[in-house]
Amino acid sequence: MKCVSYQTDGTLNYPYGENPVGQLLYDAKGNMMVEIMKPGIKKFEQSNLLQGVPEEVLPAYYGFIGYYGSYKVVPDSSLVIHHIKAYSFPNWVDQDQRRYYEFKDGRLILRTSLIGSVRYELTWQKAE
């Protein structure tokens, strides 16, 4: 699935640009992963990713989010729980993240619980 929109508390937001690239995968064995990247991030001058300078590294970091782990759909609810094994935001490693899902117009909408004082909503379209 590809990310088609990103909202913060009901306001359409574009932290990864108006046409983010990325994917959401769930498999039958209970594994999942998410990647979202802002298109057009400038390439590093050096070919070694560990030799990036702050002017290259910061836009790359702020323009990408990714995590993987396992998932569980809670029966008779609209809740899926992502158990995070690795994340570009290390504070969430080994945590469970709750997502409320809805299928609408052929798309999957995932909403978070409050994260701090903010609730996020991501809309995903099945890849063609």
C-beta separation of 40 from 17 below 8 A? yes
Task: List, in order of start, the domains of the chain with CATH numbers.
Answer: 2-125 (2.40.128)
Q: How far is Cα 14 from Cα 61, in angstroms, rounded to an integer? A: 15
Place of tokens 């995070």: 84
Q: Is 114 helix (H, G, I), strand (E, B) or coil?
A: coil
State the pLDDT confidence band at 1, using cuts at 50, 70 and 90.
low
pTM of the model: 0.84
CB 63 within 8 A of CB 69: no
Can you tell me whether residue 60 is helix, strand or coil? helix
Phi-psi region of 105 (alpha: psi -120 to 50; beta: other; left: phi over 0): left
pLDDT digits (tens, 9 = 90+) for 52-87: 999 999 999 999 999 999 999 999 999 999 999 999
Q: What confidence tier does 108 reach under pLDDT thresholds 50, 70, 90? A: very high
